[in-house]
Structure 1
Amino acid sequence: MSRFLIISASMGAGHDAVASELAGRLRTDGHQASCVDLLSLLPHGAGRGLRAAYRTALRRCPWAYQTVYSTLFQDRGRGGGGDGRSTAAAPLAAALAPRLRRVVDRWRPDALVSTFHQAAQATGRLRAAHGGDCPPSTVVVTDFAVHRQWLHPDNSLYLCVTDAAAARVTAATGRPAKVCGPVVPAAFTAGGRPAPGRQPSRWGTELARIGPGRPVVLVSAGAWGVGRGLTATARLLADAGHLPVLLCGNDERLRAHAARLPGVLPLGWIDDLPDLMAASSALVDNAAGQTAVQALAAGVPVVGYRPIPGHGVEGVREMAEAGISEYAAGDTALLGALDRLARPGPGRERRIAAGRAVFVGDAARLVAC
């Protein structure tokens, strides 16, 4: 039995979801696992302020976030360092590393696991400073597009969602990188369409009542309800004969606004998303985050559309280039993709098979090796 300290960050819900799933799998295998929110290690109020600034930038001035992302996250021939270090992350990592060290000294884990890019910088810095006195560290890269904030050559191992991501990591850091696919709860893969003779799920019954005969298309806005033209997208889908289900996360204003649109079903945060996905025909995604990979696991084709800036733009395009989703550059392309993917046919089946094929390993088993 080993002790694992998993370091995440409450920036949205995706990184914490991966951390929680990893912890659950490790405990099931007989290990001890504890999760820590990196933002909670910052001086009083700083973590909340950083999260609020990020959320505000995404919602109100996405151009500003794109500028920050282009400057600090993407390779531009400077700041990343030839050895894979991101000097752009140095100030925050410098503030986090000693605080993380105190947690490590108190909990005495056998290994560290990062599910957030700044956590990867902090663990790398910790190992660089303390060498053999620091536990080995594994970075679980949750992004399809691996930006340089994930990269630090003093981490021990990287786990990635695709071969392309793993190759990028090893080229930049010289560290080993293995491909495991996304980390998704088993409830998503255990779903699927009801077998003949079985009663449909609650969502299957409800959606058939609301929009009989209309293909159900989920429109994702993440935990914060972030995205460009979300209600316009929902209206477009409703006018084209679909039943759009707008996943508003925790944004009650977005849900209230969308509730006034005819033919649109807006939902807040729900705990039975696997069942909803099992009753759905496609997902329109704008971030290439956890909702997108949960859809892949559930056998729901994914179409990237109007991605959020920064990691959203890069991730949506990386998913499409990997052949596991489609990217729609405009309204006509979106409706065309849904015509192929939201209804039965060989195109839909090929896309479902490609999406499920990305799940090639168990990240928890690789972490525990």
Structure 2
Amino acid sequence: MARVVIVSARIGAGHDGAARELDRWFADRGAHVVRADFLDLLPGRLGELLCGAYHQQLNTVPRSWDWLLGALGTPALAGVARRFAGLATPRLRELLGDNTDVVVSTYPLATHAVARLRRSNELTAPLVVYLTDPSVHRLCVSPDATLTVAPNETAARQAKALGAGRTLVSRPLVAPAFRPSTGMTERLRLRLAFGLPHDGPLALVVAGSWGVGQIGQTADDLLATGLVEPVVVCGRNEALAEKLRKTGHRHVFGWVDKMPELMRACDVVVQNAGGLTTSEALATGLPVLTYRCLPGHGRANAAVLHDDGIVPWVHSPSELTEALEWLLRRPVKAAG
């Protein structure tokens, strides 16, 4: 039985979501899968501090993320980040041992920690880098990877330009529960279960597990169009959920365990350029719009999705109205 080690990170839901589905994919093929969180491999409380700092940055000074990602795209600071990743190698070395057959990384810093062990010949098992976003940053790529798996052709081209070796394009893995609705009966049943209106178009607003970004403004703009009723998912951001309820939004959720069902109860998804959310919505058969997207990787993802004709990037309230009018006029496709 092959031993597969998947290294992810609990920074947002995308990296862990990909790791979870990779776990299922390998397990279905008879592998023994071990999953690890890169943050737990760092010494002391460093992983916890890193996660907290990133979360705080997105909540308080999100525009600085544009600057930071740009800076990390330079060879000098990218090198600093790779050396930082090396702090995880002692625990990573212990985790991998001598009997690991494949290592899969879904998180950039984990990629470089594993790559360091390969360069020093302490690890001979192949390293597979699984890219979780439609766009590719320099830190996502390592020339020491045996294989880089990209979610689209654009990401594959970007990865190769940044030094990736063998690259494969593969449709993003999402949980099987994300499937199209079987019809109006299922949709009405789900709306009743979630306490949603039984008639009228619903726009599902999602912003990742942390509920960061201009979520309140997005909900307000959707309501102002008069075309849809916003259904807002705030993730673990309970303060945001409470604020939205107090300002009069009727359909506000915190953490949702049944996201596939909630998606099937709605008509359109409005997101701020998270790769996992987009993949899940498209697998559910829902149209997706990007609106008020996050700085940095959010804008980079939005640009790729828009340019590839997958998800329109809406830049203003007037464009939002036009996009919704167009989407709601489209005939509903039956589940295949």
TM > 0.5 between the two? yes
* Gapped regions of structure 1 (runs ≥ 5): 81-85, 357-369
Which amino acid in 1 is paired with 2:136? V
Which amino acid in 2 is paired with 1:105? G
Question: d(CA) in 2 for partners of 1:219 and 1:284?
Answer: 5
**Does residue 123 of structure 1 match 2:114?**
yes
Cα offset for 1:8?
0.2
Question: d(CA) in 2 for partners of 1:199 and 1:141?
Answer: 34
Cross-structure match for 1:203: 190
Q: Deviations over 1:42-63 (max 9, x none)?
A: 1111111000000000000113
Question: d(CA) in 1 for partners of 2:33 and 2:188?
Answer: 34
Question: d(CA) in 1 for partners of 2:76 and 2:306?
Answer: 28
Secondary structure (helix, strand or coil) at the match of 1:309 reads: coil
Is the Cα–Cα contact under 8 Å of residues 89 and 113 in structure 2 kept in the other structure?
A: yes
Is the Cα–Cα contact under 8 Å of residues 235 and 264 in structure 1 kept in the other structure?
A: no
**Does residue 321 of structure 1 match 2:307?**
yes
TM-score (norm 1): 0.85
Is the Cα–Cα contact under 8 Å of residues 104 and 130 in structure 2 kept in the other structure?
A: yes
Question: d(CA) in 2 for partners of 1:92 and 1:202?
Answer: 50
Which amino acid in 1 is paired with 2:224? D
Change (3 A) 1:200 1:122: same
Question: d(CA) in 2 for partners of 1:122 and 1:182?
Answer: 24
Q: 175, 183, 198: which one pairs with 1:194?
A: 183
Question: d(CA) in 2 for partners of 1:221 and 1:34?
Answer: 29
Is the Cα–Cα contact under 8 Å of residues 238 and 264 in structure 1 kept in the other structure?
A: no
Secondary structure (helix, strand or coil) at the match of 2:120 reads: helix
Secondary structure (helix, strand or coil) at the match of 1:188 reads: coil
**Does residue 147 of structure 1 match 2:133?**
no
Is the Cα–Cα contact under 8 Å of residues 141 and 164 in structure 2 kept in the other structure?
A: no
Cross-structure match for 1:96: 88
**Does residue 258 of structure 1 match 2:247?**
no
**Does residue 236 of structure 1 match 2:221?**
yes
Q: Percent identity?
A: 33
Cross-structure match for 1:249: 235
Count matched residues.
335
Q: 211, 214, 236: which one pairs with 2:200?
A: 214
Q: Deviations over 1:80-139 (max 9, x none)?
A: 8xxxxx424222122122321121117x210100011111111222111116x4210100
Give me the CA root mean square deviation.
2.2
Is the Cα–Cα contact under 8 Å of residues 7 and 115 in structure 1 kept in the other structure?
A: yes
Change (3 A) 1:201 1:31: farther
Cross-structure match for 1:366: none
Question: d(CA) in 1 for partners of 2:321 and 2:149?
Answer: 35
Cross-structure match for 2:296: 310
Change (3 A) 1:149 1:211: same
* Gapped regions of structure 2 (runs ≥ 5): none
Which amino acid in 2 is paired with 1:126? L
Map 1:47-58 to 2 at 5 A.
47-58=47-58
Q: 62, 84, 87: which one pairs with 2:79?
A: 87
Cα offset for 1:260?
2.3
Question: d(CA) in 2 for partners of 1:225 and 1:345?
Answer: 30
TM-score (norm 2): 0.93
